[in-house]
């Protein structure tokens, strides 16, 4: 099982962000850690005897959790749950709060063995446009200090498709990111989320996004560039040196069970899915009233099958045709024959070693391809 811990605080709100996070204070964080531990106690018996294979602190800004509080959380996890001795333990950090050498050393000593840094860009103009509060120098220094603290598995989050960015700017960014020698890179196309200041500026044409053609070049040529540096694209937005794929995220894409702690966190256990209350206040009430398992959604076979298709097609391994048939008792190729032929003819997907995989061009339009698989009723897919 995968364990996700949401940290719902940030120093300030980035202009593109629609994640669940509120303003940080030491006191609020301290109370929150207490709630998290109570939530763990709530789940202890309910998820036994599952073993935790990965632990992931995401947010928000997990690097705002003080070392002493992180020690309390990890102590609780290890004493309440059965944790695999080689568990991957990732903490997301932002350069402005994960920059202190003593803090980084404390994280490492506490057993955090993977650091995922929200660098986003090494261009000061782009960082300002995104509303990030760190500088490129701080980001570079944080990577150096993390190495000095002992981290041998560092991932950088990077954003492409920023207003005003040209393909060559992105390729230059890739050169700068790879010069820091991270083991892993997550490269996301900037998404304009409803209700964000970024959306308002784009709507008012104060900011102009790169053209579709430029975005396609950033994705396709950027991937080729990263590949030339030894980073294998193992999922649409994720690239890793050999042996450094994120075990936690790979677990999601493989359809493993996961428990999410904290407000807005989603869990999937025993073919049931639920989401914790979205706000901190509602979450606090649910923890106190022990109503966190209130309304789970039963995942029916169609949901599970659709999700399997969607998650597999995002990965470079693709969808294992034999495993699909064994799991659901229906042949994938026979069911989706016309769709697959059309994808193949348009160089959007191919069959490789018994799996259906999207080509780079297919990954570029993966959302619409996946929607095609979801939209067509199963009974009419071969007609
Ligand atoms: S640091 Fe991350 S979670 Fe926090 S506001 Fe920025 S993008 Fe959102």
pLDDT tens-digit map of 147-196: 999 999 999 999 999 999 999 999 999 999 999 999 999 999 999 999 99
Give the count of alpha carbons within 13 A of 30, CB side only: 4
Pocket probe mutation, ligand 1, options 59, 156, 162, 192, max atoms within 8 Å of Cβ: 59
Q: How far is the CA of 130 from the centre of ligand 1 (A)?
A: 10
Domain match, 53 and 173 both: yes
344 burial level (CB within 10 Å; 0-12, 13-18, 19+)? middle
Kindly report, residue by residue over 305-324, the tens digit of the pLDDT: 999 999 999 999 999 999 99
Note whether residue 136 is domain-resident: yes
Q: How far is the CA of 133 from the centre of ligand 1 (A)?
A: 10
Pocket probe mutation, ligand 1, options 21, 57, 263, max atoms within 8 Å of Cβ: 21
Task: Report the predicted TM-score, pTM, of the whole model to 2 decimal places.
Answer: 0.94
CB atoms within 10 A of CB 277: 18
- Over residues 35-45, the mean pLDDT reads 97
Note whether residue 307 is domain-resident: yes
Q: How far is the CA of 61 from the centre of ligand 1 (A)?
A: 7
Kindly report, residue by residue over 62-78, the tens digit of the pLDDT: 999 999 999 999 999 99
The Cα–Cα gap between 202 and 210 comes to: 11
Domain match, 127 and 194 both: yes
CA Rg, the chain, in Å?
Answer: 21
Note whether residue 262 is domain-resident: no
Q: From 211, 234, 252, give the residue that closes a domain.
A: 252
Note whether residue 213 is domain-resident: yes
Q: Is the beta carbon of 62 within 6 A of some atom in ligand 1?
A: no
Using pLDDT thresholds of 50, 70 and 90, give the confidence band for residue 200: very high
CB 127 within 8 A of CB 153: no
Helices (H) and strands (E) in the chain, counts: 16, 17
User: What angle, rounded to 10 degrees, do the helices at 321-328 and 301-313 form?
Assistant: 170
For 161, the 3-state DSSP assignment is coil
Domain match, 231 and 306 both: no
Q: How far is the CA of 265 from the centre of ligand 1 (A)?
A: 16
Note whether residue 290 is domain-resident: no
Using pLDDT thresholds of 50, 70 and 90, give the confidence band for residue 293: confident
Q: Which residues form the domain of 100? A: 2-252
Note whether residue 11 is domain-resident: yes
Q: Is the beta carbon of 120 within 6 A of some atom in ligand 1?
A: no
pLDDT of residue 78: 97
Q: How far is the CA of 338 from the centre of ligand 1 (A)?
A: 42
Domain match, 236 and 309 both: no
Q: From 252, 276, 309, give the residue that closes a domain.
A: 252
Instruction: Report whether pLDDT(60) > 80.
Output: yes
Q: Is the beta carbon of 93 within 6 A of some atom in ligand 1?
A: no
Q: Whose CA is nearest to atom 8 of ligand 1?
A: 17
Q: Whose CA is nearest to atom 7 of ligand 1?
A: 17
Q: Is 271 left (phi over 0), alpha (psi -120 to 50) or beta?
A: left
Atom of ligand 1 nearest to the CA of 16: 7
Q: How far is the CA of 57 from the centre of ligand 1 (A)?
A: 14
Q: Is the beta carbon of 8 within 6 A of some atom in ligand 1?
A: no
Domain match, 243 and 147 both: yes
Note whether residue 293 is domain-resident: no
Q: How far is the CA of 225 from the centre of ligand 1 (A)?
A: 27
Kindly report, residue by residue over 6-17, the tens digit of the pLDDT: 999 999 999 999
What's the CATH number where 349 sits? Answer: 1.10.10.920
Q: Whose CA is nearest to atom 3 of ligand 1?
A: 60
Q: Which of 105-109, 171-175, 217-221, 332-336 has the lowest mean pLDDT?
A: 332-336
Domain count within the chain: 2
Q: How far is the CA of 346 from the centre of ligand 1 (A)?
A: 38
Domain match, 226 and 345 both: no
Instruction: Report whether pLDDT(20) > 90.
Output: no
Residue spans of beta strands (DSSP E) within 225-362: 232-235, 238-240, 258-261, 266-269, 272-275, 297-298, 319-320, 349-352, 355-358
Domain match, 127 and 198 both: yes
Q: How far is the CA of 246 from the centre of ligand 1 (A)?
A: 20
Note whether residue 76 is domain-resident: yes
φ, ψ for residue 183, nearest 5 deg:
-80, -20
Q: In what order do the strands lie in the sheet with 266-269?
A: 232-235, 238-240, 184-189, 154-160, 114-120, 82-93, 51-59, 2-7, 258-261, 266-269, 272-275, 297-298
Domain match, 194 and 316 both: no
Q: From 232, 252, 272, give the residue that closes a domain.
A: 252
Kindly report, residue by residue over 322-366, the tens digit of the pLDDT: 999 999 999 999 899 999 999 999 999 999 999 999 999 999 999
Domain match, 161 and 44 both: yes
What's the CATH number where 36 sits? Answer: 3.20.20.70
């Amino acid at each position: 099982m995968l364990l996700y811990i949401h940290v719902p605080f940030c120093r300030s709100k980035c202009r593109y962000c629609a994640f669940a996070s509120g303003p940080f204070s030491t006191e609020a964080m301290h109370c929150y850690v207490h709630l998290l531990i109570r939530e763990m106690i709530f789940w202890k018996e309910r998820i036994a005897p599952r073993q935790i294979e990965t632990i992931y602190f995401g947010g928000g800004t997990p690097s705002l959790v003080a070392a002493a509080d992180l020690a309390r959380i990890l102590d609780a996890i290890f004493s309440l749950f059965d944790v695999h001795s080689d568990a991957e333990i990732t903490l997301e950090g932002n350069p402005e709060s994960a920059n202190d050498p003593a803090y980084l050393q404390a994280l490492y000593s506490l057993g955090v063995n993977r650091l995922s840094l929200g660098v986003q860009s090494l261009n000061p103009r782009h960082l300002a446009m995104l509303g990030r509060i760190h500088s490129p120098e701080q980001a570079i220094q944080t990577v150096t200090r993390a190495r000095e603290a002992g981290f041998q598995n560092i991932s950088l989050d990077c954003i492409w498709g920023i207003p005003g960015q040209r393909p060559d700017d992105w390729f230059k960014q890739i050169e700068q990111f790879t010069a820091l020698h991270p083991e892993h890179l997550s490269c996301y196309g900037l998404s304009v989320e409803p209700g964000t200041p970024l959306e308002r500026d784009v709507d008012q044409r104060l900011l102009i996004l790169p053209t579709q053609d430029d975005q396609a070049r950033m994705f396709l040529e950027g991937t080729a560039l990263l590949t030339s540096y030894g980073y294998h694209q193992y999922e649409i937005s994720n690239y890793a040196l050999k042996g450094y794929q994120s075990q936690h995220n790979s677990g999601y894409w493989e359809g493993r069970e996961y428990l999410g702690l904290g407000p807005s966190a989603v869990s999937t256990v025993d073919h049931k899915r639920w989401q914790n209350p979205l706000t901190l206040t509602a979450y606090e009430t649910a923890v106190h009233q022990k109503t966190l398992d209130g309304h789970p959604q039963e995942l029916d076979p169609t949901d599970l099958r659709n999700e399997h298709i969607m998650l597999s097609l995002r990965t470079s391994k693709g969808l294992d045709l034999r495993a699909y048939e064994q799991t659901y008792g229906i042949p994938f190729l026979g069911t989706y024959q016309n769709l697959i032929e059309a994808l193949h003819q348009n160089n959007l997907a191919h069959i490789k070693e018994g799996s259906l995989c999207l080509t780079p061009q297919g990954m570029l339009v993966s959302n619409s391809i996946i929607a095609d698989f979801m939209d067509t009723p199963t009974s009419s897919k071969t007609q």
